[in-house]
Structure 1
Amino acid sequence: MSAPPAEGLVQQWESEQTRLRQQVLDHDTEDWQKSPVFSGLERVGGVDLSFIKGDDTRACAQLVVLSYPDLKLLYEDSRMVTLTAPYVAGFLAFRETPFLLEALQRLQQKQPRLQPQVVFVDGNGLFHHREFGLACHLGVLSGLPCVGVAKNLLQVQGVFKSEEHQSQIAALQKGGDSFPLTSASGKVLGKALRSSDKSFKPVYVSVGHRISLDAAVRLTLSCCRYRVPEPIRQADYRSREYLRSRFPAADSGSGE
């Protein structure tokens, strides 16, 4: 068990989140985002970190770029990294963003024509304690449109896994149905989306950067063959396979 971080570090991170939060754009900035069929969108990215089970510092940082709309693999980057920042709830981005950003920068240097036009992040965006989750952090620092898609509900700002929440999930009849994640103050921070007819458990979509919530939800749905959008699913799968091939004795686990 790692030691708790110094109070000064958490205060520094809070200040940095507040500063960067002011740069988030939660509206559509690209023409393709305003198209009903995302005309002009050709490349979608996905990022994820997978850890060796029992080791919370060594991980595989993964980037994939898929074609759109057929979701074929165009590019992948798998790299072992060592995380040095401590894990603190609400500050996951300070552990993971540097390595995901480096993967995007390597792509820009090696094959800039394959740079994704939007990046799916396995985590939250504005649906966060301070409205600045991993998808926002990566979006602001990379300058790319980002969408946060979480598999589990982050219970923040008055949104809880309550009976009401469960009844809202039960009311999602088909793929594409959704309901807003509304904070105690009345602000919509994201949406719970039933992403497939075959999946009863929703995903939680929120804006990362340079895209509206409506476009983020529509795009997430259009990228889902299964419950999780294909860019994130492929990033998760390929990072786990990378670990299995190098550490066959250890099971891998995906990051939060």
Structure 2
Amino acid sequence: MSWNQDSAQKVDSGSKWISAGVEEWMALQETWKRHLVLEPEDLSLTVDMERLFEAFPLIGGLDITPDKKRDNIAYVGLVIMSSKSLEVKYCQTHRATLQTPYVPGFLGFREAPALINAVESLKKEKSDCFPQVLLVDGNGILHPRGFGSACQVGLSLNLPTIGVAKSLLNVDGLNISQIKEQICQQGKRWMPLFGSSKNVLGAALLSNEYVKRPIFVSIGYRIKLLEAINLVFHTCRYRIPEPIRIADQISRQASNRNFC
């Protein structure tokens, strides 16, 4: 799959859609989805990792942890690493006020503004650590309407993003039990996810030989699926890619400190 960067328009992360209802959010997702311009991709090709490291020398990870007592407060973890060596270059948490409640299928409208603000703050404060690609704890096009939080973050920032989810949403007839069975039977580390529509929505990955539960990778914005898969595999020391795993750790630590 590929994209048309010229057609991308920045997602307004301000008050225009924060106060909107579910019907308006659905319409916005459908509108924004057109700017992804996804095209077929040959998944049998081999990715040149050195070229990938050159294109994306710094890789970021984003995760968010809600406050234990206050529903409208959360802590964003942002980690920047060398994509090749996985050396940590930047590690910070940001306290955020969430403007909307959680509605299934619309997580981006609750969390994306906080994630976007954290990345924009990095660009102002330490631009030499600004990443060329972001891993977002959430979904990209592997989403009921094809536009998850990773898409929302990427389109707003005009930055390549990859959605990495720990669980599978109910999308286009995909069945988690069947996927787990198939990937184990095939003896492969990853398998593409074809929905009832026969479109490739993402991939299920077993991060390493010891992992039994797959993670789910999908395109967020301005990156090909094979590139996303290879970057995620490279950054996985455990089940979850290191940039997201560390971002999750530091956001949880911030939440615990403020709770105590």
Q: Quickly name the TM-score band, shorter chain normalised.
A: 0.7 to 0.9
TM-score (ref. length: structure 2)? 0.84
Selected match of 1:105 from 117, 120, 133: 120
Partner of 2:152: 137
Unaligned runs of 5+ in 2: 1-19
Partner of 1:63: 78
Contact 2:75-2:254 within 8 A present in 1 as well: yes
Corresponding letter in the other structure for 2:254: Y
Secondary structure, aligned partner of 2:21? helix
1:246 Cα deviation from its structure 2 partner = 2.4
Selected match of 1:225 from 237, 240, 246: 237
Cα distance in structure 1, aligned partners of 2:69 and 2:161: 30
Matched, 1:91 2:106: yes
1:44 Cα deviation from its structure 2 partner = 0.5
TM-score (ref. length: structure 1)? 0.86
Secondary structure, aligned partner of 1:23? helix
| Stretch deviating more after TM superposition (88-97 or 59-68) | 59-68
Cα distance in structure 1, aligned partners of 2:38 and 2:82: 24
Matched, 1:192 2:211: no
Partner of 2:7: none
1:95 Cα deviation from its structure 2 partner = 0.5
Matched, 1:170 2:163: no
Matched, 1:123 2:138: yes
Contact 1:26-1:210 within 8 A present in 2 as well: no
Partner of 2:68: 53
For residues 144-176 of structure 1, the C-alpha deviation after alignment (integer angstroms, 9 at most, x for no partner) is 1000010111121111234x32311322636xx
1:224 Cα deviation from its structure 2 partner = 0.5
Secondary structure, aligned partner of 1:129? coil
Matched, 1:182 2:194: yes
Partner of 2:48: 35
Partner of 1:24: 36
Secondary structure, aligned partner of 1:120? strand
Partner of 1:153: 168
Corresponding letter in the other structure for 1:170: C
Secondary structure, aligned partner of 1:108? helix
Contact 2:180-2:213 within 8 A present in 1 as well: no
Partner of 1:114: 129
Question: 1:245-256 residue pairs with structure 2 within 5 A?
Answer: 245-248=257-260
Corresponding letter in the other structure for 2:185: A
1:116 Cα deviation from its structure 2 partner = 0.5
Corresponding letter in the other structure for 1:237: Q
Partner of 1:78: 93
